[in-house]
Structure 1
Amino acid sequence: MLIDSQTLFRAGLKALFSQTTDIRVVGEAGDGQTAKRQARALGVDVVLFSPILPDVFSSDLLHELREYRPDFRFLALGESDDSQTVMRTLRAGAHGYVRKCSEPQVLFDAVAKIADGKRYIDPFLLDTLRFDQGEADDAPERILSARERQVLKLLVAGHSISNIACQLNLSIKTVSTHKSRLLQKTNLSGTADLVRYAFRHHLAD
Structure 2
Amino acid sequence: MKILSIFLSIDLMCWLPMLLWLLGAFLLGWLFRKLFCEKPKLQAAADEKNALQLDYNAYKDSSQAKYLQLQGEYDASKLQAAKLAPALAKIEELEAALVAANNKKQDFAGTAAVKDYKAISAFFGSKIVADDLKLVEGIGPKIEQLFHAAGLKTWDSVAKSTPEQLKAILDAAGDHYKMHDPGTWPAQCAMMVNDEWAALKKWQDELMGGKE
- TM-score normalised by structure 2 residue count: 0.24
Structure with the larger helix share: 2
Structure with higher Rg: it is 2
Structure with the larger strand share: 1
Higher relative contact order (CA 8 A, sep 6+): 1
